[in-house]
A and B are shown apart, each in its own frame.
Chain A
Amino acid sequence: MSEILAGAVALPTLAVAVLVWGLLPGFVNRLFARIYPADDPRRRDMVAELYAVPRWEQPLWVAQQAERAISEGIPARARKRRSRMSKRDVRVALIKPGLSSHSRLVKVDGRRIRTWRLFEFDRPDGEVRVRYYVDVVEREFTYKPDAELAQQLWGELNQMLKETGGK
C-alpha cells in the first residue's frame, strides 16, 4: 500500500521537476526576451546565455532575467518608438573613408545633433558593411562609397561639428 502511495506522489513530483528544470526555463526566458524590441541584440543574448547556465540554476537565473528585461526592455521599446532615422541621414554621417574601427560620429538631423557608435568593416568587393548602434539597438547596411563625395561630405560634417561643438 505504501509503495502505491509513494508511486502516486512520485509521479507528480517528477512531472513538476521536469517542468521547472526542463521546459519552463527556456520557455519563460524566451517570453522575457520578447520584452526587448525585435532587433535588439539583447533578445538573442538572453536566449543564448541560458545554454551556458547549469541546469539546476536555470530557474533562478531565468527569474533574474525578468528584472533585466523589464528594466532595460521597456525603456528600449519606448526609445525605439521615439527615435526615427532614415538611411539617407545615416549615409551622410557615415561616409568617412578609411574608417576601420569603432568611432563616435555625429549625425546631423535638422538642428539636433545626436551621437552614436559606428563599427565599419571593409569588404573586398568594394562595398562597406556598416554595423552601428543607435543607443543600444544594432543596425546594419551596406553601401559603396564614392571617394570624392566622401571627402567632400566629411569636410562639411567636420565643419558643422566645429561650429556646433558636437563630439
Chain B
Amino acid sequence: MRHTDALVKVARALCARPSDRHWGYPLTKVTGLRSGALYPILTRMLAEGWLVDGWEEIDPAVAKRPPRRYYELTADGLRELGAVVRRAELEEARVRNRAIGAAFA
C-alpha cells in the first residue's frame, strides 16, 4: 500500500488504541479525513489482513437502528501500521532537524 498522508493518519488513529474497536464516523473525526478517503483505506486494510471487521451486537428492533460495522487491528496490522507510524515520525523528525539546521545556518 502506498504511504500517503491519509494512510499515516489512519495508522496513527488505529495504533493509538490498538485493542479497541474502531468505528467509521469517529475515525473520520479523529483523522480529519473525509469518508471518500477513509473508507477505501479501511477496505484495503481489510483486504491486506491488517484489520478484521464485525457488526455491532444489538437488536435493531430495540435499538431502532441497524447494527454498525466496526474494525479491529490484527497482529499483522499492528506490526505493519506501527511501522508506517514510526517511518512517518522519523521523516517528520528529519524535516524538523533540517528546518532547525537551516534556521541557524
Contacts and interface: CB of A to CB of B under 8 A. Distances in A.
A44 B69 contact: yes
Instruction: Name B's interface SS.
Output: mixed
Contacts of B52: 102, 119
Contacts of B56: 48
Nearest to A138: B53
Interface residues of B, number: 23
A64 B68 contact: no
A42 B43 contact: yes
Contacts of B67: 48
A71 interface: yes
Interface string B65-87: 11111000010000000000000
Given A44-B66, A51-B68, A68-B36, A102 B43 contact: no
Interface of A: 41-42, 44-45, 47-49, 51-53, 61, 64-65, 67-68, 71-72, 102, 104, 117, 119, 133, 135-136
Interface of B: 23-26, 34-36, 39-40, 43, 46-47, 49, 52-53, 55-56, 65-69, 74
28 contacts: A41-B53, A42-B43, A44-B66, A45-B68, A45-B69, A47-B66, A48-B56, A48-B66, A48-B67, A51-B68, A52-B23, A52-B24, A52-B26, A52-B68, A53-B25, A65-B35, A67-B34, A67-B35, A67-B36, A68-B35, A68-B36, A71-B36, A72-B39, A72-B43, A102-B49, A102-B74, A104-B49, A119-B52
